[in-house]
Structures are given as structure tokens and as C-alpha cells.
Homo-oligomer: A and B are copies of this chain.
Amino acid sequence: MPERTVFYISDGTGITAETLGSAILAQFDFTPRHVRLPFTDSVDKAHQAARQINHAAETEGKRPIVFATLVNAEVLAVLSESRAMLLDMFCAFVQPLEQELGLKSRHRVGRFSDVSKSQSYRERIDAINFSLAHDDGQSNRDLASADAILIGVSRSGKTPTSLYLSMQYGLKIANYPLIPEDFERQQLPPAIVQYKKKLFGLTIAPDRLAEIRAERRPGSHYAALENCRYEVAEAETLMRQSSIRWLSTTTKSIEEIATTILQEIRPERLSY
């Protein structure tokens, strides 16, 4: 039974509060109950939130932890009087920054508000559509406009990584499977060989690959350890011979793979 509640409260989506809160809580051996209260953007809603907090405090006999990103000062004031340990991320950093920059902050709710018509938001949606249309070598159209083309054997992590990079950074990422035909020819797939500078390889430990493939097709040749060993060895040889940058995804999360690729490809549009 979790014995303490963590609230994520924001006048926007609360995604920032939850991202930072989760990262901080990961530093502790502590399994709380989570309550998300996004769009807490009025004094009424603040009082409602405060009631929830006080109720948890009473039931659990410990004050709840509140990770907040609140632009609205009145909402913040109401929550400050609740029985919580209030960790407001804006308070902590916005005021010192106002001094440093010599600028007043906008007190604008949510970094996503009204973005839906902005240029960069449209580019992000376009990027997601591009990555979807170019998943798993589905299309060779317009590969010239890809920011990167991920290659690797089936189930090496190409699809989630492509989608993450487009969703998070607005990058157009195609991905192309390396298949037994490529290994027999000992050449990169013809459609992508001209885009060698955009290529980035993903590889994976054969035993991990066999596990992943077995979940999908247990007992198949496709999932057999021996076949996985063969495919991975051939793919790595091919990437090495073609001087393509690559990394192993075996123990990495999507976020770590994506960040590493970003470091390597340094797309111009992300003002690296």
C-alpha cells in the first residue's frame, strides 16, 4: 500500500510537472500514489485541488508532495495554504531568471497554448506523418528530405525511436529494415544507398533480439537465437563496411537512443 500521495498540478497540461517530478522521485526508493490535476486554472479549481490534498493528508497521516507548474498567482496562493509540501518549479526558477535577464515573465499558462497554428507545431505534425509514412521502408518517396534514416534488423528499435524523434523534436525520420536479401548481396538496400550521410544504424545483442522476437513469433526461425546471431553479425558487418554510424540499443531506452542519435546527426533546424 502506498502511504503517501504525490500530486502533479498545473494550470496547463502538467506534463512538465510530471516529467520533473518523476525524474526527482526516481532518486528515491519510494512508491507513492499519483494524482494528476491538469488545467487547474481557476481559484475554484484550486480550492477543489486543495480539498483533495487535505483529504489525502488526513487519510495518510503525512502531507502529500505537490509538484506544480503554476503561472496563476491566485491558484498558487490557494495551494500554498493546503497541507502539502509544495514544490513549484516556476517559483524556483522564474524569479531568478527575471532578475538575470532583466525581463518580466509573461505569466502565460502552458507552453503549449495556442501553439496549434504555429509554424513549428505544423512542422512537428508533418514530421510525425513523415515518420509514419516512412516506417519500416514503406515508402522511398521524398527520402531526400529526411533528417535521418535509421537502419537495422527487424525489432532492433527503429520504429519507436523514429516516432519519438519526430514527436519530440519535429524531425523527419525514415526507417529501413536490413533483411536477409541485403546480407546475401552484402550491400545496403538500393533505395537508401545514395543517402549514406543520413543513415544511422541500430544494432542489438542477439540474445535480447531473440527474446523480443519470440514474444511475437514464438518457435519461429525468425526468433531463433542462431538466426538472430546471423542477422546481427551480418548487419554489423554491412554497417562497418559502409562506414555508417551505429549504436547498440540492447540496454537503452527510447529516450537514450534518441538523444544519442541527435548528438550524432545534429540537425541544423534544432540550433544545436
Which residues of A are at the interface with B, using a C-beta cutoff of 8 A? 4, 12-16, 19-20, 22-24, 26-30, 33-36, 38-39, 63, 65, 69, 71, 85, 87, 89-90, 92-94, 96-98, 100-101, 103, 105-108, 110-117, 121, 125, 128-129, 132, 135, 159-160, 163-164, 167-168, 249-256, 258-260, 262-263, 270-272
* Pair A13/B94 contact, Cβ less than 8 Å: no
* Pair A111/B163 contact, Cβ less than 8 Å: no
User: What 4 new A-B contacts, CB under 8 Å, besides A15-B19, A63-B100?
Assistant: A4-B101, A20-B93, A24-B94, A27-B90
* Pair B22/A19 contact, Cβ less than 8 Å: no
* Pair B19/A250 contact, Cβ less than 8 Å: no
Bound Cα distance from A110 to B251, whole angstroms: 13
| 25 A–B pairs (Cβ distance < 8 Å), ordered by A | A15-B168, A15-B255, A19-B20, A22-B111, A24-B90, A27-B105, A27-B106, A27-B107, A28-B103, A28-B106, A29-B103, A29-B106, A30-B101, A33-B271, A34-B271, A35-B272, A63-B100, A113-B253, A115-B253, A116-B252, A116-B253, A125-B160, A128-B160, A132-B132, A163-B163
Which residues in B have their C-beta under 8 angstroms from that of A106? Answer: 26-29
Number of copies: 2
* Pair B39/A111 contact, Cβ less than 8 Å: no
Which residues in B have their C-beta under 8 angstroms from that of A254? Answer: 125, 167
* Complex: chain B residue closest to A266, CB-CB: B36
* Complex: chain B residue closest to A36, CB-CB: B272
Known contacts being A38-B263, A159-B128, A167-B167, is A253 close to B30, with CB within 8 Å? no
Bound Cα distance from A39 to B252, whole angstroms: 13
Which residues in B have their C-beta under 8 angstroms from that of A168? Answer: 15
* Pair B253/A163 contact, Cβ less than 8 Å: no
* Pair A250/B27 contact, Cβ less than 8 Å: no
Give the shortest distance, in Å, between A165 (CB) and chain B (any CB).
11
* Complex: chain B residue closest to A131, CB-CB: B163
Which residues in B have their C-beta under 8 angstroms from that of A251? Answer: 114, 116-117
Which residues in B have their C-beta under 8 angstroms from that of A29? Answer: 103, 106
Which residues in B have their C-beta under 8 angstroms from that of A105? Answer: 27-28
Known contacts being A27-B108, A112-B255, is A163 close to B65, with CB within 8 Å? no
Which residues in B have their C-beta under 8 angstroms from that of A24? Answer: 89-90, 93-94, 97
* Pair A26/B111 contact, Cβ less than 8 Å: yes
* Pair B112/A256 contact, Cβ less than 8 Å: yes
